[in-house]
């Protein structure tokens, strides 16, 4: 800055030069201020809209076009999915989209394109199956001296717009072109965020995205549910609060417990362009994984034992048939049983390993099940074994059907394992008793046999998670796993040499 005395000493040419410099700087400053003001106005309008595409649509709808016209606003830049960014307003707006590229080529670098009668030009190719305009008017969208797209109008009539109309529309285009310049980039940013959120929301594991300070900036739906992100902070559990307070300082791998479920976490550093470091946290539910492993163990164990048991039944029926000489109606019945047992093997193998059961969230296939009928049918399948060991069955099922919302296939496997255990351990010529009764929380059934019994350490091992007992008491081990999957409870009462009683309680599911 120069003071008055310095200016007085300057000659005329120097003063003129200073004025020109000031005017040039003022012009640059005005342009800079216009840029910042337009940017602020555009982003403010975008922020007030529900989305960038809503703002885009509002711009299009505000243009003063005639009822017989269609306006198309087309940006040169594609969105993140490589789709054209365009919007239309007026009659047949979408139908005219096939002319977007042709109109842009006709406009080229011109200030305005006026085609008052399309029948007099021959370098536009119209689709015979779509509407075509009788007049076309197009204007370039310029942003920082760069063409970013076009606005064009199609009308059903020739000479639809006067020179004054065109001047008004051109002025309006110039008012919006800066906002639209920002909009093109904003749309891509909005879409990128939407794609990102859709990607993390598709994950079953909780995912958090945090800034460098450890503040959560994004989370997927699973994380919102697991960590209760939609509730007030003073209502969060201690485990969650402890996690949130330590996000910034967590190691790359860590373990936490939330609502009695154990999660393993993985921390990944993310560096965004022109942004500070962020961190992504992904959590895997270890507790659910362990439950799933136990489920597979139980299913595979039950399936293996079921196949072995049915094959033993088949051999038993064959032996009985061969011992009776020529085939009689009874022998034919036995052979029919052989065929039915084989079919049971195939059916149950398919059921136990069905796709639905392999889903982590799809362990149970619930339906209303009559336990009286299920127990009766299961016992009938043990006729050959009962005959060979001369065992008697006493059933006290209460007569009327007893319905329970549960998984029929798994209950059947549970009964088969319990019956096999009872039939195997029962003494020759003894009795197996089955009792079914209602309890306050559901239905309970007990299977009692008079046989070798179990020691206290064996019972503890069966009800625990001992791998060794799975070999010696496979049926009861499987029964314990299946009962857990059915959200039930199992009790074993036994003494060596006095048989055993196995009680299963299956709760009614609300």
What DSSP element (H or E) covers 359? Answer: none
Residue 329 lies in a domain: no
Same domain, 29 and 106: no
pLDDT value at residue 497: 87
pLDDT value at residue 360: 45
Residue 296 lies in a domain: no
Same domain, 434 and 377: yes
Same domain, 35 and 166: no
Tens digit of pLDDT at every position of the chain (510 positions): 556 666 666 677 776 677 777 777 777 776 566 555 545 555 565 556 555 567 667 777 777 789 999 999 888 766 555 667 788 888 888 889 899 999 999 998 888 999 999 988 888 889 888 888 999 999 998 877 778 888 999 999 999 999 988 888 888 788 777 777 666 666 666 666 777 777 788 888 888 888 888 788 888 888 888 888 876 666 666 777 777 777 878 888 888 888 878 888 898 888 765 567 788 889 988 887 777 666 666 666 666 666 666 666 776 776 666 666 676 777 777 777 776 776 666 566 555 555 445 444 455 677 888 999 999 988 888 888 888 889 999 999 987 888 888 888 889 889 988 998 999 899 999 999 999 998 888 899 999 999 889 988 888 888 876 656 656 788 888 888 888 878 789 999 998 888 999 999 998 755
- Write the CATH number for 124: 3.30.450.40
**What is the three-class DSSP state of 133?**
coil
Of the candidates 101, 136, 131, the residue with the CA atom closest to the CA atom of residue 121: 136
Same domain, 25 and 73: no
Same domain, 451 and 508: yes
The full 3-state SS of 196-240, as one line of letters, equals HHHHHHCCCCCEEEECCCCCEEEECHHHHHHCCCCCCHHHCCHHH
Tokens describing residue 28: 């640059």
pLDDT value at residue 5: 65
Q: How far apart are CA 110 and CA 159, in angstroms?
A: 19
Residue 477 lies in a domain: yes
On whether the CB atoms of residues 212 and 269 are closer than 8 A, the answer is no
What DSSP element (H or E) covers 380? Answer: helix 371-380
Query: Among the three residues 179, 198, 217, which one is the final residue of a domain in this structure?
Result: 198
* DSSP-derived secondary structure letter, 418: H
Same domain, 445 and 509: yes
Q: Is 448 left (phi over 0), alpha (psi -120 to 50) or beta?
A: beta
Same domain, 39 and 55: no
Same domain, 372 and 397: yes
Q: How far apart are CA 366 and CA 361, in angstroms?
A: 13
How many domains in the chain?
A: 3
Residue 175 lies in a domain: yes
pLDDT value at residue 58: 73
Residue 425 lies in a domain: yes
Residue 491 lies in a domain: yes
**Cα separations (Å) of 242 from 227, 237, 245?**
11, 9, 5
Taking the CA atoms of the chain, what radius of gyration do you get in angstroms? 40
Q: Which domain holds residue 489?
A: 364-510
pLDDT value at residue 34: 56
Q: How far apart are CA 509 and CA 204, in angstroms?
A: 25
pLDDT value at residue 196: 73
Of the candidates 182, 178, 195, the residue with the CA atom closest to the CA atom of residue 83: 195
Q: How far apart are CA 158 and CA 398, in angstroms?
A: 90
Of the candidates 449, 416, 388, the residue with the CA atom closest to the CA atom of residue 304: 416
Q: 8 burial class (0-12, 13-18, 19+ CB within 10 angstroms)? A: exposed
Residue 63 lies in a domain: yes
Query: Among the three residues 173, 198, 223, which one is the final residue of a domain in this structure?
Result: 198
Residue 306 lies in a domain: no
Query: Among the three residues 198, 224, 255, which one is the final residue of a domain in this structure?
Result: 198
On whether the CB atoms of residues 181 and 143 are closer than 8 A, the answer is yes
Same domain, 56 and 146: yes
Same domain, 36 and 119: no
What's the sign of the alpha-carbon dihedral 23, 25, 27, 30?
negative
Compute the residue count for the chain: 510
Same domain, 57 and 21: no
- Write the CATH number for 384: 3.30.565.10
Same domain, 152 and 32: no
């Amino acid at each position: 800055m120069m003071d008055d005395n310095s200016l007085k000493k300057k000659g005329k040419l120097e003063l003129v030069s200073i004025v020109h410099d000031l005017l040039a700087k003022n012009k640059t400053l005005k342009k800079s201020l216009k840029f910042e003001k337009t940017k602020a106005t555009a982003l403010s309008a975008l922020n007030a809209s529900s989305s960038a595409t809503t703002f885009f649509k509002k711009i299009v709808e505000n243009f003063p076009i005639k009822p017989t016209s269609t306006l198309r606003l087309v940006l040169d830049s594609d969105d993140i999915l490589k789709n054209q960014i365009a919007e239309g307003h007026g009659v047949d707006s979408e139908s005219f989209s096939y002319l977007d590229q042709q109109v842009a080529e006709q406009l080229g670098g011109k200030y305005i394109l006026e085609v008052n009668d399309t029948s007099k030009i021959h370098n536009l190719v119209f689709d015979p199956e779509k509407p075509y305009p009788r007049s076309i008017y197009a204007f370039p969208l310029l942003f920082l001296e760069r063409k970013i797209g076009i606005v064009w109008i199609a009308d059903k009539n020739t000479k639809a717009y006067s020179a004054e109309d065109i001047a008004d529309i051109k002025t309006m285009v110039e008012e919006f072109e800066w906002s639209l310049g920002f909009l093109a980039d904003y749309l891509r940013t909005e879409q990128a965020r939407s794609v990102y959120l859709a990607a993390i929301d598709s994950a079953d594991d909780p995912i958090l995205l945090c800034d460098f300070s450890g503040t959560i900036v994004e989370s997927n739906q699973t994380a919102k549910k697991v960590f209760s992100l939609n509730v007030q902070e003073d209502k969060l559990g201690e485990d969650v609060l402890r996690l949130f307070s330590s996000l910034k300082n967590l190691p790359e791998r860590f373990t936490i417990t939330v609502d009695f479920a154990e999660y393993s976490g993985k921390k990944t550093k993310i560096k965004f362009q022109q942004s500070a470091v962020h961190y992504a946290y992904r959590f895997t539910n270890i507790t659910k994984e362990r439950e799933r492993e136990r489920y597979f163990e139980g299913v595979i164990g039950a399936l293996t034992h079921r196949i072995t048991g049915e094959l033993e039944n088949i051999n038993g029926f064959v032996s009985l048939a061969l011992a009776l000489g020529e085939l009689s109606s009874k022998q034919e019945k036995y052979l029919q049983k052989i065929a039915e047992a084989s079919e049971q093997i195939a059916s149950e193998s398919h059921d136990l390993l069905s796709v639905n059961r392999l889903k982590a969230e799809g362990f149970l296939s619930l339906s209303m099940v009559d336990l009286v009928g299920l127990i009766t049918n299961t016992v009938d399948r043990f006729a050959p074994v009962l005959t060979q060991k001369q065992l008697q069955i006493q059933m006290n099922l209460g007569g009327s059907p007893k319905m329970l919302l549960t998984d029929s296939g798994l209950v059947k496997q549970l009964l088969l394992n319990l019956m096999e255990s009872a039939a195997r351990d029962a003494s020759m010529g003894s009795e197996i008793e089955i009792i079914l009764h209602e309890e306050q929380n559901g239905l309970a059934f007990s299977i009692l046999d008079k046989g070798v019994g179990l020691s206290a350490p064996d019972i503890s091992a069966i009800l625990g998670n001992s791998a060794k007992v799975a070999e010696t008491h496979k049926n009861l081990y499987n029964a314990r796993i299946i009962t857990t999957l059915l959200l039930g409870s199992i009790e074993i009462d036994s003494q060596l040499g006095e048989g055993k009683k196995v009680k299963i309680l299956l709760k009614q599911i609300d």
